[in-house]
Amino acid sequence: MSENNSFVRKEMISERIPPAADRGLVKWVRENLFSSAFNAIMTFISLWVIYSITVAVIPWFLNGVWDAKTVRECYDLLDGKSGACFAVLNERFPQLIYGFKYPSSEYWRPNLATVLLIVALAPILFRRLPRQLLIFSAVYPFLAFWLIWGGSILTSVSAFLGCAIAVICYRRFSSRSFALAVLISLIAANVWWIIGGYIVDLNASFLSLEVVASRDMGGFMLNLLLGTIAVCLSIPLGIALALGRQSGMPIIKWICVVFIEFIRGVPLITLLFVANVILAFFFPPDTSIDLILRVLIMMTFFNAAYIAEVVRGGLAALSKGQYEAADSIGLDYTQSMRFIILPQALKISIPGIVNVSVGMLKDTTLVSIISMFDLVGMIRGPILSSTDWNGVYWELFGAAAAIFFVVCFSVSKYSQWLERQLETDKR
């Protein structure tokens, strides 16, 4: 037996690596880039596109001139080479960001307001942060008003105290009746504002910053200002409109429907025309409300109508059982909306609300058409028409596009992250 034994393997052979065509980079390339003849052609076309863009852009970018006084000087420095004239961004940077009238000694104020904006938004955006920070978020709007527009801090303090009094009154009476609580808090706040107005007038110079008029604001600051305020104001208004549209009371429902459909049916630019030339006719003859405020009113209405439609989608997506369950445990309308319906509906609506709001921020550039000097307005107006920088379209519009891209892209990424965070029903 032993001299004729067949071969018996005692130990395992170590695994052999797969053939070269089936592993690593080669495999990936074969599967993802050259899986068929058509795919191979597409790959080559894409590579050619990437190549031609790179060849055109990279030298233009690398040869860029950052230090020059005029566009002529720029071309002289470039000496016929292909290159960007980034010097315009360097020289006109304050104009692009703050507009051309904001006093340059006060640039720290909008800067500080922006930094504080991030601090104020942080606890709203990230739920892990300590809740006490929300107090700062509540104070922030009043602080930002003082920082950006200037004047005495007492104006902001008085406005804030009025709101605080309203909230306290509401808390005190809301257990009795919602309507009563709202009424009392409105009255209390207005009484305080009347008293506060006198106090402010007496001490107009207390902790006073240099007053900057609305029409002196410009640049990207104006875009950010309009976008942020319009979005913040339009979310509550939009929710109210959506609830009104869902309501069983025909008159209230039709008021909301007409408002929403009218606003959604016309382009924003016509609403800005209204703000620019018509709205003033509707205010009492002796008042003058400045353009930025009129634009803000129209933008808020515009955004609110779109948010209302998004929220309506969220409300419609809830099953009828949720409404019935809320009714059956004896909650009244405000309670059932506050504790049962809206938390769920708003969660569904978040991506939509963020999309609409990013759209609003982008649409703030339209104010350049009614000759306000936002980022685009600054570029098209004072910068491109100046003799120094005539014809440097690419660098300026490229920079504007880049600024908007960074802001809008990060906001939409945040909303995707938030959507994943709020997914409580899926594991």
Partner 1 sequence: MNTSELARRDKFQFSMLLNDKRYRSYTFQFFALFILICAMAYLGKNLLENLAAAGLNISYSFLGEPAGYDINQRLIEYNSQSTHLRASIVGVLNTLLVAFLGCIAATFFGVTAGILRLSNNWIVAKLMMIYVEIFRNVPVLIWILIIHSVFLAFLPQPKAFRGENPEATMLWDAFAFTGRGFYIPKPVFYDGSFIVIVTFILSIVGIFAFRYYARQKLYLEGKLLETRWTSVGIFFIPTLIIYFALGSPIGLEYPELKGFNFKGGIHARGSLISLWFALSIYTGAFIAEVVRAGIQSVEKGQSEAAGALGMRPNFIMNLVILPQALRVIVPPLISFYLNITKNSSLALAVGYMDITGTLGGITLNQTGRAIEAVLLLMLFYLAISLSISAIMNVYNRSIMLKER
Residue with tokens 């640049």: 219
Q: Which residues make Cβ contacts (< 8 Å) with residue 350, sequence separation at least 6?
A: 415, 418, 419, 422
> Closest CB to partner 1 among 143 and 400?
400
Q: Which residue has the tokens 């908007």?
A: 404
Considering only 32, 335, 390, 416, the residue that binds partner 1 (CB under 8 A) is 32
CA–CA dist 304, 260 (Å, integer): 8
How far apart are CB 161 and partner 1 at their closest, in Å?
A: 27
Q: Cβ of residue 191: shortest distance to partner 1, in angstroms?
A: 21
- Which residues are paired to 374 by β-bridges? 219
Q: How many CA atoms lie within 13 A of 287 on its CB side?
A: 11
- Binding segment for partner 1 among 126-134, 147-155, 166-174, 273-281 (CB under 8 A)? 273-281
Nearer to partner 1, 206 or 409 (CB): 409
In the set 77, 163, 182, 255, which binds partner 1 (CB under 8 A)? Answer: 255
Neighbours of 380 (CB within 10 A): 18
Report, in Å, the least distance between residue 144 CB and partner 1.
Answer: 24
Closer Cβ to partner 1, 203 or 270, answer by number: 270
* HSE-CB of 321 using CA atoms within 13 angstroms: 1
Note the residue count of the chain: 427
Per-position x/- string for 149-188, each x denoting binding to partner 1 as judged by CB under 8 A, each - no binding:
------------------------------x---------
Q: How far is C-alpha 267 from the geometric centre of its chain's CA atoms?
A: 19
Choosing from 283, 339, 414, 417, the residue that interacts with partner 1 (CB under 8 A) is 283
**Which residue's entry shows tokens 């948010």?**
307
Which residues are CB-contacts of 221 (< 8 A; sequence separation ≥ 6)? 97, 98, 99, 102, 110
Question: Is 61 an interacting residue with respect to partner 1 (CB under 8 A)?
Answer: no
351 to 370: interface string for partner 1, x by CB under 8 A: -------x---xx-xx-xx-
Do the beta carbons of residue 222 and residue 288 sit within 8 Å?
no
The yes or no reply on residue 48 touching partner 1 (CB under 8 A) is: no
Nearest to 393 by CA among 385, 145, 154, 293: 385
Compute the distance between CA of residue 167 and CA of residue 185 in angstroms, rounded to an integer. Answer: 7
Helix axes 87-98, 393-421, angle to 10 degrees: 60
409 binds partner 1 (CB under 8 A): yes
Among 252, 316, 329, 422, binds partner 1 (CB under 8 A): 252
Minimum distance from residue 174 beta carbon to partner 1 (Å) = 16
For residues 349 and 310, what is the distance between their CA atoms, to the nearest angstrom?
6
Residue 375 CB neighbours (<10 A): 27
Pick from 347, 369, 358: nearest CA to 407: 358
Query: Quick one: which segment of 116-124, 155-163, 264-272, 338-346 binds partner 1 (CB under 8 A)?
Result: 264-272
Q: Which is nearer to partner 1, 32 or 421 (CB)?
A: 32
Q: DSSP for 286-299, please give it.
A: T----HHHHHHHHH
Phi, psi for 374 (deg, rounded to 5):
-80, -165
**Does the protein bind partner 1 through residue 57 (CB under 8 A)?**
no
- Exactly one of 393, 414, 417, 423 binds partner 1 (CB under 8 A); which one? 393
Angle between helix axes 108-125 and 133-149 (nearest 10 degrees) is 160
> What token pair was written down for 117?
């904006």
Least distance in angstroms from the C-beta of 244 to partner 1: 9
Note whether 25 binds partner 1 by CB under 8 A: no
Among 280, 289, 297, 318, binds partner 1 (CB under 8 A): 280
Q: Which is nearer to partner 1, 117 or 256 (CB)?
A: 256
Binding flag, residue 266, partner 1 (CB under 8 A): yes
Report the residue from 54, 270, 334, 385 that binds partner 1 according to the rule CB under 8 A.
270
Among 46, 190, 371, 416, binds partner 1 (CB under 8 A): 46
Residues that bind partner 1 (CB under 8 A): 32-33, 35, 39, 42-43, 46-47, 49-50, 179, 248-252, 255, 261-262, 264-270, 273-274, 277-278, 280-285, 358, 362-363, 365-366, 368-369, 376, 380, 393-394, 397-398, 400-401, 404-405, 408-409, 412
